[in-house]
Structure 1
Amino acid sequence: MEMKDVLLNLLLVLSPLLIIQLLYMRKETNKKMKKWLFALLPALAIVFSMQYPFMIDGEFFFDFRRIPYVMGLLYGGYPLGIFLFIVTVGTRVIIGGSGIYPTIVMAGILVLLVPMLSSYYLKSRLRIKLCLVAALVLGSLLFSIIQIEMMYKTAFHPSHYVELIIFHIFAAVIGTILFETIIQNFYLLKRVIKAEKLEVVSHLAASISHEVRNPLTTTKGFLQLLRDDEISREKREEYIKISLDELDRATNIIKDYLTFARPEAEHQHPISIHSELKNCMNVLTPLAQMENVQLEEDFSKEELYVLGDSLKLKQSFINMLKNSIESYSNGGQVQISTQKEGSYVKITITDHGKGMTEDQVLRLGEPYFSTKSNGTGLGMMVTYSIVHSMNGYIKVKSGPGQGSVFQIYLPSLSA
């Protein structure tokens, strides 16, 4: 037998396993993936192997079709087995020749008996699975050889027996190990995704409970002080004001959390970037003056528009500008510039404040992470969510003591 033909046939049988791995990953991200796609792959392996067989004694053709066939019966049971039986017999009939009868007999026996072992096989350890697949493949191979020898009154050379047995056992073991590895990787991927989701939820829960508890505790304390009848009117008004401020702070924290949970814009309409930025600068001017920071604009001459929710976009701009202003300890400048870059509107916010390390930049947008001692991380988390919901993205360049540059890219909308 020609070794290149054997290796080609083996490659055609094993290559669909790589496609199976891609489909498993696709199914995890797309729940609409159809199950029949997975049934199609062992069928393709059978068809391909039968199209490119290898020759024994210059007269008899063999291939590795029985390996995907047996594995399909063990993993898929009777429903998949019947489908593979039809594919195997149909392909053999189309190819023609005198080997149709042995194929029908062998495929029929396997489809009747092997699926009975499916439940036991799926619960077994890898070692037992390897032995079972190898035994079934080897048994079907020897049965087919005996059929051929009886039909054609011939006998294979012992060396051909040895070669066929070694190649089939090797292919069966490799195929089973590959498929089991793919399945284990798939379940590991699911556990990792689930663990990441739980970690995000735990961080959010810790952040929200911690930040909401503080203003509520403060409010509770001042409300208890209000029970004292000897408190002056001025003190009473001061306590009430502090309590209301703390409740407003708790409300804003919850609002930020809800914005992160539902970042999609409810009312989308054309937004003038320059108008929104000017409004944000006007809102933050008192804070900038208090921190001795100047806000400088360098807007493009062309009017720039995007599609989205103006209130949420304004919130994201305010969060970023506020962080840039608060990055200074002794005053400075914050530059806001805009320009059209390809199909995007680019908004750049530059400060020369304390800056961030590379690790801090990578963690921006994570819940419960902030570079400020009294920060919650919810502001940047909400900002990232809003920008992503508008099909945009954010780039950050920063270094300790070198300031930070935030570049927001949003899909441009023609005016």
Structure 2
Amino acid sequence: MFEMMTGMINNIFFIIFPIILYQMFAATGKRNFFVSHRVMLTILFSISIILCMIFPYQFMTDDYIFDLRQVPMIVGALYGGPLVSAVLFLVSAIGRVFIGGDGMYIAILNQLLIAVGVPLLRPQYLRMKQLSKTLLVFGITIVSLLFNLVAGYVFFGDPIHDLIGIWLILMLNHGTIIVLTALLIEHIQRQEYLLNSLVKHEKIETVSHFAASVAHELRNPMQSIKGFVQLLQSHEYNRDKQVEFHDIILKELNDAESLIDDYLVFAKPTYGQLESVMVDEEISQVIKVTKPYASWQNVELQLLHTCEKCRVVADRQKFHQALVNIIRNGIEAMTTGGTLSIGVSNMQSSILIEIKDEGLGMTKEQVQRLGEPYFSTKTKGTGLGMMVVYSIIHQMNGTIEVDSEKGKGTIFKLYLPAADSLEEG
């Protein structure tokens, strides 16, 4: 009895293991049992059949050797279709021939009937509800074992009434195991369906948010342009006034164009000419650009430490854009003024750029959400600037770390691959 239980547990493991292995390593969100990765699952189920036959759990006589090879055969036929069923039959039949014995012919005939008949039930099976599926697989297993019982009586004259008790136990064991296997597969498929639905919903929601955000952001400059054009059409203004209106219209158009460019950088980052740039020189240029805005906000920009030979590979314009966005956010976070410091360090295979402000700071929850679409710590912000920053840095194969504490400021740490290490690689 103990040996039978041990053999049964081993057989169950041989059946469940490929399913769990598939669940662990198949591409998440792209799985559909025995449709995706059909070859891999066929191989795994073939291995299950072979192992079940090598380590059977019951020898009633030399003619009757019991194992759970029928479980992967039936499951493979129902979920994989005729081709998978044919391959599994060949594996099972060849294995049974090697084992030998008079019961070999009954076993191979039984397996042939499963391989031919069960795939015919596949279209109806896939449309059934879970309860109906479990009843069907249980019924197929019972019919298969009954065939063995009757065939043994016909070919070998085995007395059915002496063996019926043992056969009932075997039917119950086989039926229970295949039902549990089918339920496990159905659970995996249900989880994949929910995951795919969630991914699709998130994509649709993201597109919806993008559309709403673009419409909202572009509406303001468009309305201004429309208003000034209507004024120019309905009234006669002197030349100076017309020039003033034209300047405002051009400014609004430039703002709209800049907004569209930012969205394109986030939605589909593209790079122009990649080149090896000196980090110190680029930061000096960025400081010159942002210094007037910082002075207006009563913020002092300081370059604390530099690295003369530090170089990174980047699109110069996009690199500038990422640095400018971080520095501007830091300046705007210091509502009462302060000092924004910038430092560059050589970390051997990477370059570290630290940008530290003395602003309002952020909570841990806010830091975790940085770079998410439409999240901003500013009242009128859209979060677009930080989305662009994260997109550009990731395209440079870099990473961003943010240390912040409410009321004590924020430190942005940009780790970028050093150009020297890329050239060596």
1:169 deviates by 1.4
Residue of structure 1 in register with 2:287 after alignment: 281
1:89-127 deviation line (CA, Å, top 9, x unaligned): 122223444432122100111122111111111101111
1:199-245 deviation line (CA, Å, top 9, x unaligned): 21111111111001100101111121123544343332222211111
Residue of structure 1 in register with 2:188 after alignment: 182
Residue of structure 2 in register with 1:263 after alignment: 269
1-structure distance, mates of 2:305, 2:95? 68
Task: Indicate conservation of the 8 Å contact 1:297/1:335, yes or no.
Answer: yes
Residue correspondence of structure 1 range 12-411 to structure 2 within 5 A:
12-22=14-24, 24-26=26-28, 28=30, 34-57=37-60, 59=62, 60-148=64-152, 150-155=154-159, 157-301=163-307, 303-341=309-347, 343-411=349-417
Say if 1:413 and 1:98 are closer, same or farther in 2 by CA, change over 3 A.
farther
SS of structure 1 residue aligned to 2:233: coil
Range that drifts further, 349-358 or 209-218: 349-358
1-structure distance, mates of 2:325, 2:71? 60
2-structure distance, mates of 1:76, 1:301? 61
Range that drifts further, 41-50 or 133-142: 41-50
Task: Indicate conservation of the 8 Å contact 1:365/1:377, yes or no.
Answer: yes
Give the TM-score of the pair, scaled to structure 2.
Answer: 0.91
1:25 deviates by 3.1
Query: Would you say how many aligned residue pairs link Structure 1 and Structure 2?
Result: 414
SS of structure 2 residue aligned to 1:53: coil
2-structure distance, mates of 1:84, 1:289? 76
1:88 deviates by 1.1
- What's the % identity of the aligned pairs? 36
1-structure distance, mates of 2:89, 2:294? 76
2-structure distance, mates of 1:27, 1:290? 50
1-structure distance, mates of 2:243, 2:20? 71
SS of structure 2 residue aligned to 1:354: coil
1:184 deviates by 0.8
SS of structure 1 residue aligned to 2:49: helix
1:330 deviates by 1.4
Any unmatched runs of 5+ in structure 2? none
Task: Indicate conservation of the 8 Å contact 2:141/2:171, yes or no.
Answer: no
Range that drifts further, 219-228 or 151-160: 151-160
Matched residue type, 1:276? E
Say if 1:264 and 1:236 are closer, same or farther in 2 by CA, change over 3 A.
closer
Task: Indicate conservation of the 8 Å contact 1:274/1:299, yes or no.
Answer: no
Aligned-pair RMSD on alpha carbons? 2.3
Say if 1:375 and 1:325 are closer, same or farther in 2 by CA, change over 3 A.
same
1-structure distance, mates of 2:134, 2:315? 58
SS of structure 1 residue aligned to 2:19: helix
Matched residue type, 2:104? I
1:374-409 deviation line (CA, Å, top 9, x unaligned): 322211111111111111121112222121111111
SS of structure 2 residue aligned to 1:247: helix
1:341 deviates by 2.9
2-structure distance, mates of 1:218, 1:229? 17
2-structure distance, mates of 1:44, 1:56? 21
2-structure distance, mates of 1:110, 1:172? 14
Give the TM-score of the pair, scaled to structure 1.
Answer: 0.93
SS of structure 2 residue aligned to 1:226: helix
